Structure 1
Amino acid sequence: MRPIARLCLLLFGLALGLPAAWAQPMDFATAQQKLRQRSDRLAASQQALQGAQLKREAAQGLGGPVISLGAMAYAYNASLDLNLDPINQSVGGAVAQLPPPLAGVLGSLPSLPASYTLQRSDTNSTASVSGVWPLYTGGAAEAARRLLGAQADEAQADAAQTTEEMQTLLVQRYFGAQLTERAAALREAALRNIEQHDSAAQKMLDAGVIARIERLQARAALEDARRQARKARDEAELAAAALARTVKASARVRPTSPLFVLTEPVEPLPHFVDAALAHHPGLAKINAKKGQAEQLHAAQEALRQPQVFAFGQRELKTGRSADWVAGVGVRWTLFDPLDRKTLAESSLRSIDQAQSLYEQARSDIELLVEKRWMALEQARQAFWSQQPALEVADEVLRLRQVGLREGTSTTQELIDAQLNQAKVQTERAQAAYEYIKALAELLEASGQGDAFERYMARANTKVE
């Protein structure tokens, strides 16, 4: 089929109100892969991480020698006015003190001018190479490198937190779309059955088999079923659009991985608590913040230490006429307006603050993991507790169908049984979705969001 023909056929199908039939099928693994490749939020977090890592790499040589090359070309013009009157006066006084014959001879000599202007101009160029090598900085260079390393660790924790959150969001939207699509299909199937019963009720009314009130009840049930089906379909379309935007799909997405529930409970609570304490991005971020505070304190302490450095400079000339200088320098600040001791105390308080935040976060995360572990177990039990209700709904529907054929049940009773069955099946699918959502939230709280697919593969109960 040509692309243009395929496009026309697709548009024709959409015009007929059949978007679900033309939706792009996608399993959860594919959706997860597309999320990692296309998510702007994940891309932004990775770019921030890469930027922090590059800063850390750029500072690895900090504290080493610095060599620079300098050159300049110049031209100048200088003028200087000299006042010669004091010299003339001094010469005249000296001549006056000489014997008359000699003074007469010297007195006849011409005198110097009153002033003289000295002017000089030239052009030149010079070039030199210079170097400075810090020999001892009190640990300032090491503190700076470790500070950038701690900032990179913080960016790593932020990126991990973003990944965990996006994983949970994908689970909610993917299986939320699966749930709403199933609910819409159940409502639409119930609507088709009720339409058949409505038509049969009209024929029975015309034949005088049923009363008018039963016919009106069937029509009212039909209108309510239509309203519920339209509402369910709208919700399914909205959920599908949200999923398509999440994975940046070019067309509507139809999830193919079914809802699922594990028959047995997951690992005990201590397993998830230990995993959270070892892998939760929030704790890693606070540790990185603490590392930054420690390195800032180390840098402030380094500024109170003497600094020793070697230096050298040489003109870029050949021969012995080139100027050069080399030596060792020491710099030690004895006094400045800042109270360094108080600043050191302030940085120590920042370290203590980070430690307190870590302890509080640790306690909060342990409580959160316990809460979500219990919510997961409650969702599992809620799913299995609905099994008897589903069996009852199936049996009641079977009895109403038999009763309608034998004349012991009314059309309205059969419609009610069908609607109740659709309701119970929807509630069971909703319970499975709540279980999946609780599982994703538990894995996020314990820093194991990437383990979701492993639990999904272990599921032995699927809501097809």
Structure 2
Amino acid sequence: MISLKIKKTYKSRIKKLNFLILLMGSIIGQAQIISLKDAHELMLSSNGNIKASSFEINQSQEEYKAAKGLYLPKITASGTYLRIDNDISVDLNTPRDMFGGLLSISNPAEVLGDWNFTLQEKNLGFATLGLSMPLYSGGLINSANKAAKIKYNLAKNNHQIVDNDYTINLIQLYYKLKLAKSVESLRQTIYKTVELHYNQANKFFENGIIPEVETLNAQVALSNANTDLMSSQKDLELATTALENLIGSDNVDSLSTNFSQPNLIKSLGEFQTDILKNNHQLKAIQQNKSLAEVGVKAEKSDYYPKIGLFGNYVPWTDNLTITENTKWFVGVGVEWVLFDGLQREHKIKAAQYKINQVEAIDSQAKLNLQTYSEKLYNTMKKASEQYQSLVLNETYAQKLKFMRTRAFEEGTGTSLEVVDATLKLSQIQFHKLQALYDYNIAYGELMVVSGQTELFLNQN
């Protein structure tokens, strides 16, 4: 009997354990622990603007394929069926009578017959197959294909620019949430520390060790710590919502990518070299310049003749007498504009000014990017120096807090000194987090601008 009860109890515990395991699995499954790279992939798959720019790539790719068709012949088929009000005829009876008179024929109508001929009946139809093919266009078709290819590459590059803009935003929001979580955790620690000090101060006051004013200092510090904690929790909620909206997820629970420790792995000159080589905005400007150069060649093609092959075949007719003995024809056509009111000259000059415009934009863009990269690099450098200094200051502040707390416990220090030491330590820790945030934001943005997004995401 006892053995049976033990078995039932054992089975009951096993069921409860299995239930707890399933419950924990469900909770873990709902919570989302996400890295920066995972967040980037989610953003690419869910963001509407990024998707829209990818459709632009597909559009320009199809237009590029369409431009290749300019080299190929064009075959057309057409059919027509007509009904006109009357037959088309020619009445030659009067000339017949005159001709009969000359021949001394007494009754030309009886002898020569009716000379009223029907050339075309009023009901007619026909079908044709046509062919046309350019043989020489003065380079216009080549220019059209080059322009279409450049536009396709430009669309891909513009898509990458959109991707980069959102990636920079993602880096900022991801690390902002990371900062908000760290600040909230630090506020929790400060609140618990101050709360512990407040409780201790109350006990000392109740035992007559310290005056009431010391407990008031601790109470004010506890109230301030609670206010700061609630504020940090609100900031955390806002940061979480912002990131979730960007990546299209509604359950970001934890961030697995930590802050990178400040480390200037490259010099400013190396970053600027990478920018000049890999920056997608500069690539877009260069592609626009190539497009403008192709535009000049296209305008110059108007100076040359256009030569084309054409042909037609009539496979079916109905009462179309004009084609009874002729079913097809082929030929070569030439068109050469000798004078167009100087339009060509002005169009070429306008196209050349477009090249000059793009060159000026390119020059200024390079200067702007150099200045921008220097600003980001200096932010990284400043944050790195601050972080290294704060690490040392944190050691001193921790020691000071320990000494102030011990002095208070021994009755030789005040509550105000303990609170002051706690706040100094927390202030240094906040500055450390801010320095980490500033460094990582500047570093991530600089890597994206220099065309090294994947390297940055994989490093993190």
Residue 54 of structure 2: aligned partner: 46
1:132-211 counterparts in 2 under 5 A?
132-211=132-211
1:2-401 counterparts in 2 under 5 A?
23-78=31-86, 122-263=122-263, 265-317=264-316, 321-337=325-341, 339-401=343-405
- Rate the CA distance shift 1:77–1:119 in 2: closer, same or farther, 3 A: farther
1:138–1:306 Cα contact (<8 Å) kept: yes
* Cα distance between partner residues in 1 of 2:345 and 2:406: 91
- Rate the CA distance shift 1:124–1:240 in 2: closer, same or farther, 3 A: same
- Rate the CA distance shift 1:81–1:169 in 2: closer, same or farther, 3 A: closer
**For 1:140-165, what per-residue CA distance to the aligned partner results, in whole angstroms no more than 9, with x for missing partners?**
11111111122122212211212222
Choose the corresponding residue for 1:415, options 416, 419, 434.
Answer: 419
Greater displacement, 183-192 / 26-35: 26-35
* Cα distance between partner residues in 2 of 1:320 and 1:253: 84
1:77–1:119 Cα contact (<8 Å) kept: no
Greater displacement, 231-240 / 439-448: 439-448
* Cα distance between partner residues in 2 of 1:120 and 1:134: 35
- Rate the CA distance shift 1:120–1:46 in 2: closer, same or farther, 3 A: closer
* Cα distance between partner residues in 2 of 1:316 and 1:189: 92
* Cα distance between partner residues in 2 of 1:292 and 1:61: 20
Residue 14 of structure 1: aligned partner: none
1:190–1:422 Cα contact (<8 Å) kept: yes
How far the C-alpha of 1:83 sits from its partner, in A, is: 12
* Cα distance between partner residues in 2 of 1:273 and 1:399: 49
* Cα distance between partner residues in 1 of 2:89 and 2:329: 36
- Rate the CA distance shift 1:80–1:366 in 2: closer, same or farther, 3 A: closer
1:446-461 counterparts in 2 under 5 A?
446-456=450-460
- Rate the CA distance shift 1:80–1:133 in 2: closer, same or farther, 3 A: closer
Q: Percent identity?
A: 24
* Cα distance between partner residues in 1 of 2:395 and 2:221: 23
How far the C-alpha of 1:454 sits from its partner, in A, is: 4.5
How far the C-alpha of 1:330 sits from its partner, in A, is: 0.8
**For 1:32-63, what per-residue CA distance to the aligned partner results, in whole angstroms no more than 9, with x for missing partners?**
22222222222222221221122112211213
Q: Where do 5+ consecutive residues of structure 2 fail to align?
A: 1-17, 108-115, 318-322
* Cα distance between partner residues in 2 of 1:252 and 1:280: 32
Q: Secondary structure at the match of 2:202?
A: helix
1:240–1:254 Cα contact (<8 Å) kept: no
**For 1:353-372, what per-residue CA distance to the aligned partner results, in whole angstroms no more than 9, with x for missing partners?**
21222222223223322332
Q: Secondary structure at the match of 1:131?
A: strand
2:275–2:449 Cα contact (<8 Å) kept: yes
1:157–1:281 Cα contact (<8 Å) kept: yes
For residue 417 of structure 1, what is the amino acid of its counterpart? A
Q: Where do 5+ consecutive residues of structure 1 fail to align?
A: 11-19, 99-104, 107-115, 457-464
How far the C-alpha of 1:380 sits from its partner, in A, is: 1.3
Choose the corresponding residue for 1:429, options 396, 419, 433.
Answer: 433
2:147–2:294 Cα contact (<8 Å) kept: yes
2:262–2:383 Cα contact (<8 Å) kept: no
Q: Secondary structure at the match of 1:384?
A: helix
* Cα distance between partner residues in 2 of 1:230 and 1:76: 90
* Cα distance between partner residues in 1 of 2:120 and 2:69: 48
* Cα distance between partner residues in 1 of 2:206 and 2:193: 20
2:180–2:232 Cα contact (<8 Å) kept: yes
1:379–1:438 Cα contact (<8 Å) kept: no
2:90–2:119 Cα contact (<8 Å) kept: no
For residue 235 of structure 1, what is the amino acid of its counterpart? D
Residue 448 of structure 2: aligned partner: 444
How far the C-alpha of 1:379 sits from its partner, in A, is: 1.8
- Rate the CA distance shift 1:367–1:151 in 2: closer, same or farther, 3 A: same
* Cα distance between partner residues in 2 of 1:253 and 1:304: 67
- Rate the CA distance shift 1:123–1:6 in 2: closer, same or farther, 3 A: farther
How far the C-alpha of 1:451 sits from its partner, in A, is: 1.7
Residue 110 of structure 1: aligned partner: none
For residue 283 of structure 2, what is the amino acid of its counterpart? A
For residue 329 of structure 2, what is the amino acid of its counterpart? V
**For 1:252-280, what per-residue CA distance to the aligned partner results, in whole angstroms no more than 9, with x for missing partners?**
332122222144x2122332222111111
Which structure: greater helix fraction?
2
**Count, aligned residues:** 424
- Rate the CA distance shift 1:455–1:375 in 2: closer, same or farther, 3 A: farther
* Cα distance between partner residues in 1 of 2:160 and 2:91: 81
- Rate the CA distance shift 1:135–1:398 in 2: closer, same or farther, 3 A: same
* Cα distance between partner residues in 1 of 2:337 and 2:157: 38
Q: Secondary structure at the match of 2:198?
A: helix
How far the C-alpha of 1:248 sits from its partner, in A, is: 1.0
For residue 415 of structure 1, what is the amino acid of its counterpart? V
**For 1:53-76, what per-residue CA distance to the aligned partner results, in whole angstroms no more than 9, with x for missing partners?**
221122112132111111122333
1:160–1:281 Cα contact (<8 Å) kept: yes
- Rate the CA distance shift 1:81–1:160 in 2: closer, same or farther, 3 A: closer
* Cα distance between partner residues in 2 of 1:326 and 1:356: 51
For residue 185 of structure 2, what is the amino acid of its counterpart? A
Please report the RMSD computed on the Cα atoms of aligned residues, expressed in angstroms: 3.5
1:134–1:308 Cα contact (<8 Å) kept: yes
How far the C-alpha of 1:82 sits from its partner, in A, is: 11
Greater displacement, 195-204 / 144-153: 195-204
